[in-house]
Amino acid sequence: MLKYIAKRLVQSVLTLFIIITIIFCLLRLMPEEGYLGAGYDKMSEVQKESILTEMGLRDPVPVQLMKFYRGLLHGDFGTSWIYRPNVAITEILADKAPISIRMGLMAMGISLVVGIPLGVLMTRFKGFIPDKLGMGFVVLVMAIPQAVYHLFIQTYLTDFFGLPMLFKEANPMSWILPTVSLSLYNTATFALWMRRYMVDELNKDYVRLARAKGVKNSVIMASHVFPNAFVPLIQTIPTLILSTAMGSIYVESLYSVPGMGGLLVDVIQRQDNAMVQALVLIYAALGIIGLLLGDLLMGLCDPRITFAEKGGAR
Amino acid sequence: MKKFLDGPVDELTESITETIAGDAFTFAEYDESAGEKVAWTDYSYWGSTFRMFFKNKMAVALLLLLAAILLFTFIQPHLPGQRPATLINNDPNTGLQLMNIPPNDEFLFGTNSIGQDLWSMVWSGTRTSLLIGLAVACSEIVIGITMGVLWGYVRQLDHLLTTIYNIADNIPQTIMLILISYILRPSMSTIILAMCLTSWLKMARFIRNQIVIIRDRDYNLASRCLGTPTWRIILKNLLPYLVSVMMLRIATTIPEAIGNEVFLTYIGLGLPVAIPSLGNLINSGRGLLMYESLRYQLIFPAVVLSVVTVSFYIIGNAFADAADPKNHV
């Protein structure tokens, strides 16, 4: 087990290294006028050159890369260029991350508490009204672009329930709608997959055997079908938790939540390369950690899965 | 039968001789051609698939609706009395722009803030969005299947492609979309390219996993032993097995692509305003949601968009269910 984790971690570091290098090189392809801001037209060539040289953009790309890696090894993400000039990136994140994480975790809690029972309910009444209603909800949330339904939820539900339109950290009422909106997609995902895995399990022979023995339906569901159907689902949960905790651009921009959901888009548009690199590193690292945690969780929940290497397969 | 098994033999033979008269039977004649006959069933894969699909009334209705919408988006500009989508309508008497006119007989969906006809814009935008969705889905099929088959079937490539996948999959899709559309300047082909570069991954992995599972099943082993060329094994043995999985991916790709277009427009990297698209319409309608009288400018495109994406999703799921031989009777 430890050997497996160590191997995965080494692989992950390598993957991160390659991802960062690719993104770093891609970022150097961005048009140069973006770095200079609004005063671009009025600057002389000499001014432009001096600004770009100061940013380190005139060094050859490998030199820039080495500098960046050296900083990373010292635990230094660098400082922002344009977003908030010369402020350490860790400091910017420390301002913005907590609110996204708090909202994301709450939304995830709602998704788990609502989504999984919904999936079970849909399986229990497969083909009847609860199933159809649930499926309708899933289809609407999955198929309609998020930008659209978040917008309508904000406009109509704030009126309907008399909730505040904009987010204020001190006002708990203003947390309700953003958190619920944020949780919708994951709720639908959980319900859909829970139902699908449970229906798959229900058709298996051991369930038929249990039925033939006269085991009660509720017992079959609770002690046979649910645990087996939950194992493949549990693999995706860590990734979803981590990605939800990073915030959503739609929800945060609509309710003006000061989180980090829109941060990436923002800094890419302002060509704040230092921030983009740091954020990509964080997102990719979280993605990899999520996958690793998911695999480990699955191993913990299902005794049939071992991490020892099997020789000679295939 | 039960009686035959239970009853004593003597009684049985007696009763048989009693009931059967000698002339009731004749010997069958030996027919050589009958020995050549092969048993067959009238099961046809596509036949059953379509029969199952057409049983689903909801999906068929949505398919008709979608076909009608698709057809209408192409016919609409040629109908009499239609205005070009980008034309700014001026009042013939005063020469002023007909701004923010609520839906009426002349402008069915009203006009927007600079006097363009929303009816034309919505349909031409739907056309753009559908084109983007279909283009992305087609390329995903081609690239995804090719890569997936190579990845799953060619063992030498397995390690390399797995590494590439791990890297590409860990770069957040948003970043790739934004970076590519930034580097290449917004246009229709850029958007399609950006989405194609990121969307084939899931399809390729799906296909790869399935192929690894079924590649060495006995029937494929038999084919290989009989000397069937590899491409034929892939085309005839492996891919038909995957139709339902592929349909499911396509069904989700098209709404995803349409949604991604909206996302790119939302963050300001979408199509230029000169090309009407549902993303553009929704984005410009977003700011007007606060004014109750102007909400129609968002609601019409949003409703059309939702109808299109939901229909694709439902039809795709229904077709994927129908294409799965496990569900055939």
First to last CA, chain A: 23
A24: left (phi over 0), alpha (psi -120 to 50) or beta: alpha
Q: Are A147 and B259 inside 8 Å of each other by CB?
A: yes
Alpha-carbon distance of B282 to B265, in angstroms, equals 9
Q: Which residue of A has its CA nearest to B174?
A: A265
Q: Which residues of B touch A (CB under 8 A)?
A: 166-167, 169-172, 174-175, 178-179, 182-183, 212, 216, 252, 255, 258-259, 262-263, 266-269, 282, 286, 289-290, 295, 298, 302, 305-306, 309-310, 312-314
Given a contact cutoff of 8 angstroms between Cβ atoms, the answer to whether B248 and B320 are in contact is: yes
> Chain A closest CA to B164's CA: distance in Å?
9
pLDDT averaged over chain A?
A: 84
Q: Are B313 and A280 inside 8 Å of each other by CB?
A: no
Q: Name chain A contacts of B125, Cβ cutoff 8 Å.
A: none
Which of A148, A149, A158 is the best mutation test for B, with the most CBs of B within 10 A?
A148
Half-sphere exposure of A20 (CA within 13 A, CB side): 23
- Domain boundaries, given as residue ranges, for chain A: 96-301
Alpha-carbon distance of B36 to B45, in angstroms, equals 25
**In what helix (H) or strand (E) does residue B162 lie, and over which residues does it extend?**
helix B155-170
Name the residue facing A145 among B267, B268, B305 (closest C-beta).
B305
> For residue A115, is pLDDT > 90?
yes
Q: Name chain A contacts of B178, Cβ cutoff 8 Å.
A: 264-265, 268
> Chain A closest CA to B99's CA: distance in Å?
23
A197-207 confidence digits (pLDDT tens): 898 888 889 99
- The residue type found at B38 is V
Q: What is the pLDDT, as a whole number, of residue B13?
A: 61
Buried b (16+ CB within 10 A) or exposed e, A167-183: beeeeeebbbbbbbbbb
A251-283 confidence digits (pLDDT tens): 888 888 888 888 888 887 777 878 888 888 888
CATH assignment of A96-301, among 3.40.50.970, 3.40.50.300, 1.10.3720.10, 1.20.1250.20: 1.10.3720.10
> Chain B closest CA to A151's CA: distance in Å?
8
> For residue A308, is pLDDT > 90?
no
> Chain B closest CA to A4's CA: distance in Å?
17
Q: What is the pLDDT, as a whole number, of residue B329?
A: 66
Alpha-carbon distance of A261 to B263, in angstroms, equals 14
Given a contact cutoff of 8 angstroms between Cβ atoms, the answer to whether A235 and A295 are in contact is: yes
The H-assigned helical ranges of A125-236 are: 129-143, 146-152, 158-161, 173-202, 205-213, 217-219, 226-234
Name the residue facing A147 among B174, B183, B262 (closest C-beta).
B262
Length of chain A: 314
Q: Which residue of A has its CA nearest to B254?
A: A143
| pTM of the full structure | 0.81
A8-25 confidence digits (pLDDT tens): 888 888 888 888 888 888
Q: What is the pLDDT, as a whole number, of residue A280?
A: 83
Smallest Cα–Cα separation from A290: which of A2, A4, A8?
Answer: A8
Q: What is the pLDDT, as a whole number, of residue A39?
A: 64
Half-sphere exposure of A293 (CA within 13 A, CB side): 14
Q: Are A143 and B312 inside 8 Å of each other by CB?
A: yes
Q: Which residue of B has its CA nearest to A276?
A: B175
> For residue A213, is pLDDT > 70?
yes
Instruction: Return the residue matching tokens 């001190």.
Output: A170
Q: Name chain A contacts of B314, Cβ cutoff 8 Å.
A: 139, 143
Query: How many Cβ pairs closer than 8 A exist between chain A and B?
Result: 103
A179-191 confidence digits (pLDDT tens): 999 999 999 999 9
> For residue A248, is pLDDT > 50?
yes
Alpha-carbon distance of B131 to B195, in angstroms, equals 13
Q: What is the pLDDT, as a whole number, of residue A314?
A: 40
Q: Which residue of A has its CA nearest to B255?
A: A143
Q: Which residue of A has its CA nearest to B259?
A: A145
Given a contact cutoff of 8 angstroms between Cβ atoms, the answer to whether B168 and B202 are in contact is: no
Q: In a structure prediction context, what are the per-residue pLDDT tens digits for chain B, which is 329 residues long? A: 444 455 555 665 666 666 666 677 788 888 888 777 777 777 788 888 888 889 889 899 999 999 999 898 888 888 777 777 777 777 777 767 777 777 777 777 777 777 778 888 888 889 988 899 989 998 988 898 889 888 888 888 888 888 888 888 877 777 777 778 777 777 888 888 888 888 888 888 888 888 888 888 888 889 989 998 988 888 888 888 788 878 888 888 888 888 888 888 888 777 887 888 888 888 888 877 777 777 888 888 889 999 999 999 999 888 888 888 777 76
| Residue B289: count of CB within 10 angstroms of its CB | 19
